[in-house]
Amino acid sequence: MKKLIKNGTIVTATDTYHADLLIENGVISQIGKQISLDGAEVIDAKGCYVLPGGVDPHTHLEMPFGGTVTKDDFETGTIAAAFGGTTTVIDFCLTNKGETLKSAIETWHAKSNEKAVIDYGFHLQIVEMNDAVLHELPKVIEQEGITSFKVFMAYKNVLQADDETLFRTLLSAKEFGALVMVHAENGDVIDYLVKKALEQGNTDPIYHALTRPPEAEGEATGRAATLTGLANSQLYVVHVSCADSARKIAEARNNGIDIWGETCPQYLVLDQSDLERPNFEGAKYVWSPPLREKWNQDVLWNALKTGQLQTVGSDQCSFDFNGQKDLGKGDFSKIPNGGPIIEDRVSLLFSEGVKKGRITLNQFVDLISTRAAKLFGLYPRKGTIAVGGDADIVIFDPTVERTISAETHHMAVDYNAFEGMQVIGEPVSVLSRGEFVIRDKKFVGQLGAGQYLKREKYGANNQSVTTNLV
C-alpha cells in the first residue's frame, strides 16, 4: 500500500523544506506539495522533521570480546537502533587467524539474518595479511559486497594486527576499491603501561584511561595516516576520542591524504571523570579509546562543525554491569570494553549538537546518516530523502523532552551510560523500506525483515542526487 507523509519538514544534509512524500513499493516515489492521495495511507508529520533514517557505521552486535559476548544481538540491537532513529547498521565481522574470510562472514550472517529488523551490512576485520587472505579479498568485495576492512592497531594478543598487515590492507583496498578502517591506539605501548599499573597495584577503572593516554591514540592515528599516504590509499579512523587524534586527521587531510574521522556521542558528552564513579560504577564508562579530559569535547565538536571529522557512529558494544563489566573487579584490564549507545546516538547529537547551537540541522543529518552512506557505498539508496531512494524515514519530533534511562530504553543491558540525562527531540515513527518499524513510539516491526546490504565500492557512489519536486 502507498503511504503519504504529509505536513512535515523534510531535512537532508543540504536542504530543509516543507513538502509531502509518497512511498510506493518501499521507495520514495514523489516529493512535492500537490501529490494526489490516490488511495494512499496518510501519515501526518505536522510539527515534525522528516529525516533520512540514521546510518550507524559502527556496531558490535553479538560480538565475542574480553571473555564474554556483547549483550545486544541483531534482534535487540536493531530494535533499539530503530527506536533511536537508525535504519541501517554496519556491523564488524570479526575474523580469526587461520580462518577463511568466507567462514567468518558466514558466522556473521548466521547471527543476523533471522533477527535484524532494519537493514544491515558488514565491515570485515583483517587480523593478518597473507596469500590466502589476499586471494579471498576480491571475492569478499564482488560477491559479498563488503567494501570496508577493519584493522585494529590495539588489543595486543587479541585483535591487534601489525603494521605490515595494515600497510598491505591499505594497498589491497586501493587496488580493489575498499575503505580501510582503523582502531588507532598504540597497542604495544598500552600493553606495557597496563602491566606496569597492575604490578603497582593500580587496579581501579580509572587506570583504564591512565594507561591509554591520548598520545597513544595520536601516535597511532598519525602512523596510520602516514601509511595511507605511502600506499596512496584511503582510511577511516573510527571512534576518535581526543584532540591528539583529531589534529592528526586534520593535518593529514590538509596534506591531501584521503582520510576520514568518526567520533561517537560518548566522547562528546562524557569524560574521564566518569571512570572515577564510586562502587565500581566507573566500569560502565570503560571504552577504548577511553573517555578523555573534558576539554577534548570542545575540540571534537569543533572538528564536527568544521568538517575535520565527518561522521558520528555509536560503537555500540554493550555489556551488562552485573555479570559482565564486573569481570574486571580488582583488575581494570579485565573489564569488557564498550557500552550501550545505539539507541541514543541520534537524539544525543540532535539535543547536544543542534539544540545547543554546535552544529546545524543539516550537518546533523550528514553526521548521523548521509556521510556514512556515501563513504560505505550505500548512497543514494540510503542516507538521504530523494526520489528513487529507499523509504527509510524517521519522523522526528524536535520539541519533545525525555530523560534517558535504562528503565525505558530498549537495549538488553542493565544500565544506560547516559542515565538521567535530559534530551530534546525524539523519533516518533520510523520506516524501513516503506514499512513501519516504530509507529507512535511502539515497535511494530518484524524479526528478520532487515535485509543484508551488499555495498558499492569506495568512491563509486559519491554522485549527487537530484530531488524531483512535483
Provide the binding-site residues for Zn ion, judged by CB under 5 A.
Answer: 183, 315
Q: How far is the CB of 255 from ligand URP (least distance, A)?
A: 27
* 338 binds ligand URP, rule: CB under 6 A: yes
Nearer of residues 337 and 363 to ligand URP, judged by Cβ: 337
Q: How far is the CB of 92 from ligand URP (least distance, A)?
A: 7
* 317 binds ligand URP, rule: CB under 6 A: yes
Nearer of residues 125 and 461 to Zn ion, judged by Cβ: 125
Other CB atoms within 10 A of residue 446 CB = 11
SS3 (DSSP) at 195: helix
* 123 binds ligand URP, rule: CB under 6 A: no
Following DSSP, what letter does each residue of 316-335 receive, concatenated? B----TTTTGGGGTT-GGGS
* 315 binds ligand URP, rule: CB under 6 A: yes
* Residue 337 interacts with, from ligand URP, Zn ion, none (CB under 5-8 Å by kind): ligand URP
* Residue 259 interacts with, from Zn ion, ligand URP, none (CB under 5-8 Å by kind): none
* 183 binds ligand URP, rule: CB under 6 A: yes
DSSP 8-state assignment for residue 36: -
- Decide: residue 34, CB within 10 A, 0-12 exposed, 13-18 middle, 19+ buried: exposed
86-93 and 68-69: which strand pairing? Answer: unpaired
The amino acid sitting at 111 is: K
H or E segment at 214? helix 214-231
> Could you give the CA distance from residue 194 to residue 288 in angstroms, rounded to a whole number?
13
> Could you give the CA distance from residue 312 to residue 365 in angstroms, rounded to a whole number?
10
Nearer of residues 297 and 337 to ligand URP, judged by Cβ: 337
DSSP 8-state assignment for residue 124: E
* 328 binds ligand URP, rule: CB under 6 A: no
* Residue 287 interacts with, from ligand URP, Zn ion, none (CB under 5-8 Å by kind): ligand URP
Please name the residues in contact with 102: beta carbons below 8 A apart, sequence gap of 6 or more. Answer: 136, 139
Q: How far is the CB of 435 from ligand URP (least distance, A)?
A: 31
Rule CB under 6 A: choose which of 167, 287, 376, 379 binds ligand URP.
287
* 76 binds ligand URP, rule: CB under 6 A: no
* 416 binds ligand URP, rule: CB under 6 A: no
* 337 binds ligand URP, rule: CB under 6 A: yes
Rule CB under 6 A: choose which of 263, 288, 324, 363 binds ligand URP.
288
* 284 binds ligand URP, rule: CB under 6 A: no
Nearer of residues 152 and 458 to ligand URP, judged by Cβ: 152
* 455 binds ligand URP, rule: CB under 6 A: no
> Could you give the CA distance from residue 188 to residue 282 in angstroms, rounded to a whole number?
24
Nearer of residues 239 and 345 to ligand URP, judged by Cβ: 239
Please name the residues in contact with 220: beta carbons below 8 A apart, sequence gap of 6 or more. Answer: 153, 154, 182, 184, 185, 186
CB 152 within 8 Å of CB 188: no
SS3 (DSSP) at 280: coil
* 60 binds ligand URP, rule: CB under 6 A: yes
The amino acid sitting at 124 is: L
Binding site for ligand URP (CB under 6 A): 60, 183, 239, 287-288, 315, 317, 337-338
